[in-house]
Amino acid sequence: MARQIQFKQTGGPDVLEVAEIKPPRPGKGEVRIANRAIGLNFIDIYVRSGLYPAPLPSLLGTEGAGVIEAVGEGVDDFAEGDHVAYAQGPLGAYSDFIVIPADKVITLPRSIDFETAAAGMLKGLTVQYLLRQTYSVGEDDTILFHAAAGGVGSIACQWAHALGAHVIGTVSSGEKSDIAKNNGAWMTIDYTRESVPERVRELTDGAMVPVVYDSVGKDTWTDSLSCLSKRGLMVSFGNASGPVEGVNLVELNKGGSLFVTRPSLGGYADTRERFEMMCDDFFGVLEAGDVKINIGQRFALEDAGKAHQALANRETTGSTILTL
């Protein structure tokens, strides 16, 4: 028997339940992975709360790392005992095991441990498409990244610094400012005490920034637009404070012919070739030491609800994982 986190109705962390089930055999084109560590992400909260609808009852989680313990018919690229990681569903990572299509799985270099992979796969691939594809960050670029001390932000600060960019990161405390700076941020802005647009204007001598990366959503939308230079790109990739609604195209014109995009990992890692390219890029910066995954919190699998509460309350730094 194996443990699996389920929920029968959407709501708060209290809807999560631990169930015991017998792990099924993988079907055609699938593998079964014995999880060694599981990644926790804000998207999990969106699914649990109903912001991102899922058929009920539902499972939770899309990211983890472990060892293949069974392969289905037609799977030739993996074998029992392989160390692997994954970041894109199906839902069900919050479990002792997961059955998943083999084309969503990547072989894990032995130099990268399970906890690092589970804590970094989804966030690292997100940063890959943000910095390398959505907007190609180059040397001497000055960029604004919200929630710079969080899981995605911590990786982004390091990776952008390695690319030679200057990161202005928003934070909510002096402690988080120190974290962002230690990860390579050039400057930080405490949004609880300072006006983000005014401070960006000061730091850039009025030039503002060519791109803003915003995972906060509703609460920061207007300020983010105000930080952009003419023809700047607003990258809204999360909804931590709620979804952005009622986008006014006239405001984009007034701001200086601004661009807006709402990307997702699925929109970029949409083929096996692109998925492998993105993983290779991410694993490369890990192995080079340009990016280190900071695991700020570890929760037992059965404490997934507590982990969700801590993440929602912004009580976490770096990445959070569930342990088995």
Please state whether the peptide bond connecting residue 23 to the residue before it is cis, i.e. omega within 30 degrees of 0.
no
The CA–CA distances, whole Å, from 229 to 64, 143, 204, 232, 295 equal 38, 11, 10, 5, 35
Tokens of 32: 């079964």
- Percentage of the chain modeled with pLDDT above 70: 100
Q: Is residue 153 part of a domain?
A: yes
What is the maximum span of the chain, computed from C-alpha positions, in angstroms?
A: 62
Tokens of 165: 């960019």
Between CA 238 and CA 217 the distance in angstroms is 6
Residue 188 and residue 80 share a domain = no
Average pLDDT, the chain: 95
Residue 221 and residue 174 share a domain = yes
Question: Which of residues 217, 246, 262 is at a domain's end?
Answer: 262
The CA–CA distances, whole Å, from 120 to 91, 214, 289, 306 equal 18, 19, 14, 20
Instruction: State mean pLDDT over 127-137.
Output: 98
Between CA 216 and CA 244 the distance in angstroms is 9
Q: Is residue 170 part of a domain?
A: yes
Residue 270 and residue 258 share a domain = no
Residue 103 and residue 13 share a domain = yes
- pLDDT for 295: 92
Q: What is the CATH number of the domain that holds 256?
A: 3.40.50.720
Per-residue pLDDT band for 194 (boundaries 50, 70, 90) equals very high
Per-residue pLDDT band for 246 (boundaries 50, 70, 90) equals confident
Q: What is the CATH number of the domain that holds 59?
A: 3.90.180.10
Which residue segment(s) compose the domain that 289 sits in?
A: 2-120+266-323
Q: Is residue 129 part of a domain?
A: no
